[in-house]
Each structure stands twice: as C-alpha cells, then as structure tokens.
Amino acid sequence: MTTLPKPGLRPANPNFSSGPCAKRPGWSVEALKDAALGRSHRAKIGKAKLEQAISLTREVLQVPADYRIGIVPASDTGAVEMALWSLLGERGVDMVAWESFGAGWITDVVKQLKLPDVRRIEAPYGELPDLKQIDFDRDVVFTWNGTTSGVRVPNGDFIPSDRAGLTICDATSAAFAQRLDFQKLDVVTFSWQKVLGGEGAHGMLILSPRAVARLESYKPAWPLPKIFRLTSNGKLIEGIFKGETINTPSMLCVEDYLDALTWAKGIGGLDALVARADANAAAIVRFVEKSPWLGHLAADPATRSNTSVCLSIVDPDVTAFDADGQAAFAKGLVSALDKEGVAYDIGHYRDAPPGLRIWCGATVETADIEALLPWLDWAFAAQKATLKAAA
C-alpha cells in the first residue's frame, strides 16, 4: 500500500479531546482578566459571579424556572455521586448503562452503597439497551450521552411523565449540545470542561421539584460526607443553589465558565450550540459513508452522538488482528496524527473497543473537522504501509 501525500490543509485548532474539550473560538487568557482573584467566593463580588454563572446556565440551557441549579465540587463525577448518595435507597433502582461511566455508577451503587434492590439494564459498546425494560416506578440512573461509546438516547420519550421514581441523568457530554427534556429528568449533572470547553474540577447539579421533595422527605441509612450534604434539619440548603458553594471554588474557573456562557448566549444560545455540534458530526458522517476503512461504533444513526463521535476501523486487514493488535494499530494512527500536530487526544477510551473518538462539541469549528478528515486517510495509509514493510 502506497503512503498518501500529506494533505495541504491543517486544522487551525487541533484540539479534539473529549474532555477537557476545546476552548471556545477566539478564546485567550485575556478573557479571564476580570476574575475575582484573591477574593473570597463569599464576598459580594465572588457571590455575584457565582449567581451569574447559575443564571446564565439556566438561560442558555433552558432549565425550567422551578428547577434548582447548584455548583458543586469534583466535576460531573462529584455531582453524580452527590445525587446517588443523597437520593437512592428510598425504593429499588434501575441502573442503565452502555459504556464506561454508566458502568461505573453501577459499581458505586452495588459495591459502595450496597443497595439490596438493584436491576442492571445494560448493552455493549455501540448499542443502546432496551429502554422498554426500565421500570419507572423505581428510581432510574442513566447517561444521556455515552461519552466513551458515542451512543446517546435519541430523546426523552421513553420516560413517562407520571413516573413514581426519580430519573437521575448524567448529561455531561450532552448538555449544551443536545436537547435535554427537563420535564422527564429529576436530576441532571454535567461539568464545565465538556461542551463549553471550560476548566475542570467543578460540577453542576440540577434538581427538579420532585428531587427536592425526596431530599426533604427521605434520609439515607448511611452517613453523608460534608461535600455531599444537600439538606440541613430536613430542609434543602437553598444557599447551594444561589451561589453559596459547599467548598471553595476556583474563581479563575468561574470566570472562564462565565466567558463560555456569554459566548454561547451571544451566538444564539442553545439552538446555535446544537446546530454547531450537529454540523461537526455531520461532516464526519459524510466522510465515513465514503470511507472503506472507517465505520461508526454506534450502528444506529438515531443513537449516534453529535459530541463524542466514536469510530471503528473496519478494514479487513486490521479486523483480522486480535484485540491487542487492533488497539496497537489504532494507537499508531493516533500517534501519527499527534506528531503531525493535526489532532490531539482522539484515541478510544481505555475501556472502549479500539478506534478513534473525535470530539464534535459546540466549541469545535466545522472547518477544523473538515481539515482533519483527509489526515485520517493519510495516517491510515501510513500505518498500513508500516505494517506491510514489517511483514
């Protein structure tokens, strides 16, 4: 196989990581010049910025007025764990998983909380479980978008409005790029470093009135660490949802999140963000449809992510390798692109099937996706030529 010539065009921004994700177009450190550095987050200026972050989140993400929004520690993981530890145990729970993070929540509920009545509804990478198996008289925990598999739920239609249990949704790679049906969701979590390209370590916890009622009527059987406590004397700690964070936030990160939200609002809000992610993913779809060596890990177009797009190498010479050989081939391809400076961090997640994972969230420019795609062909041809020479 002859090595292809290197494409003439390179992405202006080669950052296609699925987290932390690319900064918004035009970002520079100057965007942070008004950060309340050296000031208390409880001072007037600090609290005002935290309140603004909550207010802009509600506006851009189109969160209902009666839902609470809080800034919490430890990124999306912290937000999910806070919900699991604070809300579960009142009734049985259905854990729905089809990728690494969903599987991790199952482990925590089964092995850490040790709940006695847990049903596992699972599917392998690339597939969505049979959502009709879910019993919404029970609590339900699921990811909206499988970050490591590129498989998402197409919408919230599978969730009944008259459910008895709570729906707890990890939406970290969906929020701001996909339309979340909040009326069907009681807990929504995400982190700043995903679709809006903010900085890490801070999570967002969104609670419906039903979730608040559970918090105020149910006390878990286990002790709760301080950073998980959402109630005091049986009442919701309202301050958490007005910018009075449980622990000290980074005001530099807060400023960066505010910058991302302001950018998002300025380009047209949620509609524009979704359209940008859709356009990015569509460019890859068109490329894959014509490619003899690439396929989608998510076989069903209706469940394909528009953010964490996961691709499989379907070339027969590569699929003939064992799993380690396929992983080595994919790693070599990713390494070649990294060395050329045209794509960083697009390897498959460590637990996922070998392949590529290209972030297409709203901060990525479609022109950069389109510039990257010919380089995929170049890297594949180079890898095949290397293997042929070594044979």
Asked whether residue 228 falls in the same domain as residue 315, the answer is no
The reply to whether 49 falls in a domain is: yes
The stretch 173-195 carries a mean pLDDT of 98
Q: Are residues 213 and 254 in the same domain?
A: yes
Q: What is the CATH number of the domain that holds 312?
A: 3.90.1150.10
Residue 125 and residue 201 in one domain: yes
Would you say residue 358 lies in a domain?
yes
Q: Residue 391: pLDDT above 70?
A: no
Q: What is the pLDDT of residue 41?
A: 96
Asked if 239 contacts 227 with a C-beta cutoff of 8 angstroms, the reply is no
User: Token match 């006390």: residue?
Assistant: 219
Examine the pLDDT at 1 and tell me if it is beyond 60.
Answer: no
Whether 366 is in a domain gets the answer yes
Q: Tell me the C-alpha distance between 344 and 328, whole Å.
A: 17
Q: What is the pLDDT of residue 390?
A: 73
Instruction: Clarify whether residues 238 and 334 are in a common domain.
Output: no
Here the tokens at position 54 are: 């909550």
pLDDT at 169: 98
Quick check: is 4 in a domain?
no
Residue 179 in domain: yes
What is the rounded distance in angstroms from the CA atom of residue 54 to the CA atom of residue 131?
Answer: 32
- The span from the first CA to the last CA of the chain, in angstroms, equals 12
Same-domain check for residues 80 and 170? yes
Q: Are residues 319 and 362 in the same domain?
A: yes
Same domain, 189 and 280: no
Q: Say which CATH number the domain at 210 has.
A: 3.40.640.10
Do 233 and 289 belong to one domain?
A: no
Alpha carbon separation from 193 to 17, 21, 93, 272 (Å, rounded): 11, 6, 29, 19
Q: Are residues 259 and 276 in the same domain?
A: no
What is the 8-class DSSP label of residue 356?
E
173 assigned to some structural domain: yes
The answer to whether the Cα torsion of 1, 318, 298, 173 is positive or negative is: negative
The pLDDT score that the predictor gives to residue 66 is: 98
Answer with the one of 265, 284, 318 that is the final residue of a domain. Answer: 265
DSSP 90-114: SS-EEEEESSHHHHHHHHIIIIIS-
**If you average pLDDT over every residue of the chain, what do you get?**
97
What pLDDT is attached to residue 388? Answer: 76
- Structural domain including 36 reads 29-265
List Cβ neighbours of 209 (8 Å cut-off, separation of 6 or more). 66, 67
d(C-alpha 372, C-alpha 374), whole Å: 6
Q: What is the pLDDT of residue 387?
A: 80
Mark whether 214 and 335 lie in a shared domain. no
pLDDT for 24 beyond 90: yes
What is the three-class DSSP state of 249? coil
Residues 254 and 305 in one domain: no
Domain boundary pick from 236, 265, 294? 265
Whether residue 242 is contained in a domain is answered as: yes
Instruction: Place 386 in a pLDDT band, splitting at 50, 70 and 90.
Output: confident
Greater confidence (389 vs 229) lies with 229
In tens, the pLDDT along 203-225 reads 999 999 999 999 999 999 999 99
- Per-residue pLDDT averaged across 262-283, rounded? 98
Picking from 247, 265, 283, the residue at the C-terminal end of a domain is 265
CA–CA distance, 12 with 10 (Å, rounded to integer): 6
DSSP symbols for 205-260:
EEE-HHHHHHHHH---SS---GGG--EETTEE-GGGGGT--SSPPPHHHHHHHHHH
Structural domain count, the chain:
2
Residue 33 has pLDDT above 90, yes or no: yes
Question: Is residue 7 a part of any domain in this protein?
Answer: no
- If asked whether residues 308 and 172 sit together in one domain, one would say no
Percent of all residues in the chain with a pLDDT value above 70, rounded to a whole number:
99
Whole-angstrom distance, CA of residue 145 vs CA of residue 140: 15
Q: Is the pLDDT of residue 349 over 60?
A: yes
Residue 2 pLDDT exceeds 70? no
Confidence grade of residue 4 (pLDDT, cut at 50, 70, 90): confident
Per-residue pLDDT tens for 305-338?
Answer: 999 999 999 999 999 999 999 999 999 999 999 9
Q: Rounded distance, CA 73 to CA 245, Å?
A: 8
